[in-house]
Amino acid sequence: MKKVGKYEVGRTIGKGTFAKVKFAINTETSECVALKVLAKDTILRNKMVEQIKQEVSIMKMIRHPNVVRLHEVLASQTKIYIFLEFVSGGELFDKIVHQGRLNEEKSRKYFQQLIDAIEYCHSKGISHRDLKPENLLLDAHGNLKISDFGLSALPHQVREDGLLHTTCGTPNYVAPEVLNNKGYDGAVADIWSCGIQHASFSCPTWFSPSAKSLIMKILDPNTQTRITLAGIRSHPWFKKNYIPVRVNDAEETPDLDDVDSVFDNAQENFVNEEDVKDTGPSMMNAFELISLSQGLNLSALFDRRQDHVKRQTRFTSNKPAKEIISKMEATARSMGFQVETRKYKMRLESRGAGRIDHHLAVAIEVFEMAPSLYMIEVRKAMGDTLKYHKFYKTFCGKLKDITCKMTLGIEKGKHERARSKVQPAL
C-alpha cells in the first residue's frame, strides 16, 4: 500500500508500455480515481516530455460528460502521477466480446454520445486520432467515455497547408488519408474512425436500412464527400431518441501551469509519498470491491463462465495464499510461460516464434477479502485479447482444485454478510 499526497493507492488495474494505471481513493472525499503512474527517467529516455505535456494539457481543456475527466497532476522526484476519473464499466471492446453484437438501440446511444464528445473536442481544436472500442470506456450507468488522448493533435501542429502529416492511430480504424503521406484533416479523419471499420465492407443483414445509409456516408474514402458532424446529426438514424448532452460551459479556464511544473526538479513541487508496510496479500477494501461490481451486483465480480471472458478476470479461492501462488506458478510453467513472482504478484510471459503479435503477457495478483478467502485477479498485460481469452480458459481449467465459486449479490443477506467481512476503506 502507498499514499501519494491525499490519495491511497491500491491495486494495478492496467499496464502499458510506459505507464501503470492503479486504483486510488481520495481520502478527503472518498472518491475513487484512476492513477496513471509514469517514471520520469523513462519519459526522458524516450523523449516523451512534450507528448505527455500535450496529453495532460488536452485533457485539462476538455470538460465533457462523455470524456474521461482529469482531476490533477502531481510529481515526485522520480514519478509523475496523473489522477483521472475512475470509469468502472470497462472498455466497449470488452462489452462487445462479452455480449457479442449490440442491438441497434444500444449502439445508437453509444454512437450519439461519441459524436457529442468528438464535436466538443473539435470545437476546442482537438483531434483525437485514435478512436477505437479499446479507447471508449463505459461508466457504471452505461454511459460512454472517450479516453487516451496520447495521439491527439492541437491546432499548432497543423502545417502551412492546413493539414496534419503525422501518421498515427490503429490500422484497423485509421482513415485511409492518414496513411497516404499527403496530409489530412484530423477532424475529418476522426469521423471515419467513428465508423469503426475499413472501406471494403458489407453490412450484415440485421442492419437497418437507415443504419447502413449512415455507415456508408461515414466510411467514404473521399474526404471531400465524407459526411460531416453536422450531417451525422441531421441523419434520421442519429436523431432517433436523441437526448442532447448538457455541457457546463461556465467552468473556469483550466490552469496549465502545473503541466510544466511536474517536470521541474524543484523540491517544493514534489508530492509527499508514503510507503505502508506490506506483509501479505493486499486487503481489498469496501470501496475497491464495490467499484469493481458495476453498481452493487457483485455476482459480476466472480462470474467464471468460461465462454464470457474479459481482459481483466477474477476468481476466488479459500486455499492458503502461498498454496495459490505455488499452484499458479506450476500451472503457468506447464503451459510454457516464463514466470516472475514478487510477493503476491505474478507476471507470466509467452513469446511465439519471434513475432510480436504472438507475444502474450499476463499480470496476476492475489487479494485478501476476508480470513481464508482470496480473490485472484488475472489481467492481460500485453498481446492479443482473443489469445488471452484462450489462455484464461485453459489456465482456470487447470486450477479447479483451488478455485471456488461465489454468489455474492444474489441474496440480500449474503450480500450484507460479504460486505461486513471486507476491511473498511478508511
Please state the φ and ψ torsions of residue 168, each to the nearest 5 degrees: -155, 175
Q: What's the Cα-to-Cα distance from 62 to each of 42, 319, 353, 401, rounded to whole Å?
A: 27, 47, 43, 49
Q: Which residues are annotated as a binding site for ATP?
A: 36
User: Which residue in 296, 302, 379 sits closest to 13, CA to CA?
Assistant: 379
Q: At what angle are helices 104-123 and 186-194 packed, to 10 degrees? A: 170
Helices (H), 352-401: 385-397
Please state the φ and ψ torsions of residue 154, each to the nearest 5 degrees: -110, 165
Q: With H, G, I as helix, E, B as strand and everything else as coil, classify residue 408.
A: coil
- Amino acid identity of 59? M
Residue with cell 476503506: 425
Question: Which helix or strand (DSSP H or E) is residue 98 part of?
Answer: helix 92-99
Choice among 94, 116, 130, 139 that is catalytic: 130
Q: How many Å apart are CA 245 and CA 252, to the nearest integer? A: 19
Please confirm, yes or no, whether 260 is among the known catalytic residues. no
What DSSP designation does 66 have?
Answer: T
The answer for residues whose C-beta is within 8 angstroms of residue 338's C-beta and 6 or more apart is: 348, 349, 350
Question: Which helix or strand (DSSP H or E) is residue 80 part of?
Answer: strand 79-85
Q: How many Å apart are CA 290 and CA 284, to the nearest integer? A: 10
Q: What angle do CA 64, 98, 170 make, to 5 degrees?
A: 55
The answer for residues whose C-beta is within 8 angstroms of residue 47's C-beta and 6 or more apart is: none
Strands (E), 159-285: 273-275, 282-283
What DSSP designation does 380 have?
Answer: E
Please state the φ and ψ torsions of residue 253, each to the nearest 5 degrees: -60, 130
User: Which residue in 88, 93, 69 sits closest to 140, CA to CA?
Assistant: 88
User: Which residue in 22, 29, 23 sits closest to 6, CA to CA?
Assistant: 29
Q: How many Å apart are CA 183 and CA 7, to the nearest integer? A: 43
Q: Which residues are annotated as a binding site?
A: 36
Q: At what angle are helices 209-218 and 186-194 packed, to 10 degrees? A: 150
Active site (catalytic) residues: 130
